[in-house]
Structure 1
Amino acid sequence: MAPQTVLLDPPVPPQENECCGNGCDDCVWTVYYAALQVYQAKLAKQQAQQESKKTDAD
């Protein structure tokens, strides 16, 4: 049985009123962009694995 592809949910950007604009170390935008990088890396890995499976099947 082949493993199923897990659908990844992208991180949700903060709302306008969630950032105080004071340059906090743990700013909601910093957290969001870090989560976005992780999401993009996982998505790229998943896509590469799918392409590899397609190539193997051909």
Structure 2
Amino acid sequence: NIRIEMVNVERRTSVNIQDSNNEIIQHSNNEIIQDLFYLDSFHLYMLYLKIFVFYLK
């Protein structure tokens, strides 16, 4: 069981990977994961924006 947590605070992405031995490996400023997470947050932001505009009409 591998649990991956992503936390985005002020465009800084820290990834905590916890393996089955409950050892936490923290990767800070990983560019590939940061770009993927930023893309996901951007799509969520666009989705919220579309829903908000839809409720305004």
1:45 aligns with 47
Q: Considering only aligned residues, what root-mean-square deviation do their CA atoms show, in Å?
A: 2.5
Higher strand share goes to which structure?
Answer: 2
TM-score by length of 2: 0.52
Deviation at 1:12, TM superposition (A): 1.6
Query: If you compute each CA radius of gyration, which structure gives the higher value, 1 or 2?
Result: 1
Paired residue total: 36
Relative to structure 1, is the Cα distance of residues 50 and 10 closer, same or farther in structure 2, using a 3 angstrom cutoff?
farther
- Change in CA separation of 1:11 and 1:35 when aligned onto 2, cut-off 3 Å: farther
Partner SS state of residue 31, structure 1: helix
Instruction: Within 5 Å, give how 1:20-39 maps onto structure 2.
Output: 28-39=30-41
Question: After TM superposition, which residue ranges in structure 1, 4 or more long, deviate above 4 angstroms?
Answer: none
Kept after mapping to 2: 8 A contact 1:11/1:39: no
Structure 1 unmatched runs, 5+: 1-8, 20-27
Give the structure with the higher percent helix: 1
1:13–1:32 contact (8 Å) kept in structure 2: yes
Residue ranges of structure 2 left out of the alignment (5+ in a row): 1-8, 15-27
Q: Percent identity?
A: 0
